[in-house]
A and B are shown apart, each in its own frame.
Chain A
């Protein structure tokens, strides 16, 4: 079962390599919207933790056990099922410290609803639904390891 927030605390932890070195951190995300989306409709933005920006093109998105870059998702015919989380892996030397962190993730999408067609049809923008639902998702979360 999902937590009701877009950014999930369950699944928030540092990531480790085989030798036990911290490689970064990860968390799970699910859009708050009322329907699922094709990967190609998704417009992922940057992640910010305690004000530090992690560029969207440095992130890895894990869905059903497979890794995707933001760019790869534009060429993948895959439906992101409703109320299913995607894992966002953030490379970050040393990871995050144990304690509370303010995590922000921007996410928009393209849909054929009641609004102008996407202005940036190259996918560089945040879609065409931001006027109704915004793009910013944020949550203060406790990291244990």
Chain B
């Protein structure tokens, strides 16, 4: 008997619109854009919660009103396990756990079941600062209580075979047996060539990338992934990331999580530099997200 096919949901992370938010787009505008694309779920960052970390009851009511009006379900809340919020020595485990608990409670109240939890990294390859296991393990009972999965994002230039992914994160999952820690696999990790338009900004040398089949081992530990893209062409294709192959592997291996469109084109670095650039961002960003959603619909068939 084969594995039952998965049915991932199509969603959008509102991070994609961040250059425009608060300047010419409101939170409701993000919901409306998403509704137009046929997406069914979304990611927020904690910063997009009004008066974070203490939103008013009026804001929470408004938020649920938007979910209902635009028929969108909460998927992932992006947050940070910051442990250097003060000068000098790092925060204690207890202080970090309190910080995480605040976000877990918020996530639960706002309907999110997965988190993109950013653990302190010490270099461009995202090697975690030693000792992270201690505070994350202490936070696990709270993640269980509020039913949220902390997901470490595997982001270019990190690959699924970068040593810390198996030696630290996967080892942690297996040792603790937790179902509340896992991975948000950012599709940028499969990117095989430098996209155009980045100028001097180099994200990777693309010599060591994640091969599509590597994702299979990690699917049981993931509820949502960032479907990263830098440019969708007029034929609705991303020319630097093997989308069809990766998504087919996810479906064939029974994965029914959320795929969250995450636009990270070069304009995000330059949007604030001039009227001309900001104007381009106003046109390019919503257009690119729409193109990506059409591509995802073409691949998924819904």
Name A's B-contacting residues (CB within 8 A): 1-6, 32, 34-36, 38, 40-41, 74, 79, 81-83, 110-118, 121-123, 133
Docked-complex contact B52 and A6, CB < 8 angstroms: no
Docked-complex contact A114 and B126, CB < 8 angstroms: yes
In the complex, A32 Cα to B122 Cα: how many Å? 23
Residue of A1, A81, A118 with most partner-chain B CB within 10 A:
A81
21 contacts between A and B (CB under 8 A): A4-B24, A4-B271, A5-B272, A6-B272, A34-B19, A35-B47, A36-B47, A36-B52, A41-B85, A74-B86, A81-B52, A82-B52, A83-B22, A112-B84, A113-B121, A114-B121, A115-B124, A117-B120, A117-B122, A118-B84, A133-B269
Nearest CB in chain B to that of A117: its residue: B122
With A82-B47, A121-B87, A122-B87 as contacts: A34 and B22 at CB distance below 8 Å: no
The residue that A112 contacts in the complex, of B51, B81, B87, with Cβ under 8 A, is: B81
Query: Which of chain A's residues have a CB closer than 8 A to the CB of B21?
Result: 82-83
Docked-complex contact A3 and B23, CB < 8 angstroms: yes
In the complex, A1 Cα to B29 Cα: how many Å? 14
Docked-complex contact A2 and B53, CB < 8 angstroms: no
In the complex, A82 Cα to B27 Cα: how many Å? 12
Query: Which of chain A's residues have a CB closer than 8 A to the CB of B129?
Result: 112, 117
Docked-complex contact B123 and A82, CB < 8 angstroms: no
Complex interface bits, B17-56 against A, C-beta within 8 A gives 1, otherwise 0: 0110111100000000000000000000111101111000
In the complex, A3 Cα to B275 Cα: how many Å? 11
Query: Which of chain A's residues have a CB closer than 8 A to the CB of B46?
Result: 35
Docked-complex contact A112 and B121, CB < 8 angstroms: yes
The residue that B51 contacts in the complex, of A6, A32, A81, A133, with Cβ under 8 A, is: A81
In the complex, A79 Cα to B55 Cα: how many Å? 12
Residue B118 interfacial (CB < 8 Å):
yes
Name B's A-contacting residues (CB within 8 A): 15, 18-19, 21-24, 45-48, 50-53, 80-88, 118-124, 126, 129, 155, 268-269, 271-272, 278
Residue of A4, A40, A121 with most partner-chain B CB within 10 A:
A4
In the complex, A112 Cα to B84 Cα: how many Å? 8
Nearest CB in chain A to that of B99: its residue: A38
Nearest CB in chain B to that of A3: its residue: B23
Query: Which of chain B's residues have a CB closer than 8 A to the CB of A110?
Result: 84
With A4-B23, A112-B118 as contacts: A38 and B47 at CB distance below 8 Å: no
With A4-B271, A5-B272, A112-B80 as contacts: A74 and B87 at CB distance below 8 Å: yes
Measured between C-beta atoms, what is the minimum distance from A20 to chain B in Å? 35
Query: Which of chain A's residues have a CB closer than 8 A to the CB of B85?
Result: 38, 40-41
Docked-complex contact A112 and B23, CB < 8 angstroms: no
The residue that B272 contacts in the complex, of A32, A41, A83, A122, with Cβ under 8 A, is: A32
Query: Which of chain B's residues have a CB closer than 8 A to the CB of A36?
Result: 47, 52
In the complex, A123 Cα to B85 Cα: how many Å? 11
Q: A112-B84, A121-B87 are in contact. List 5 more A-B contacts (CB 8 A).
A: A4-B272, A81-B51, A112-B118, A113-B121, A114-B121
Query: Which of chain B's residues have a CB closer than 8 A to the CB of A83?
Result: 21-23
Nearest CB in chain B to that of A77: its residue: B85
Query: Which of chain B's residues have a CB closer than 8 A to the CB of A3?
Result: 23
Measured between C-beta atoms, what is the minimum distance from B179 to chain A in Å? 25
With A2-B23, A34-B15, A116-B123 as contacts: A111 and B52 at CB distance below 8 Å: no
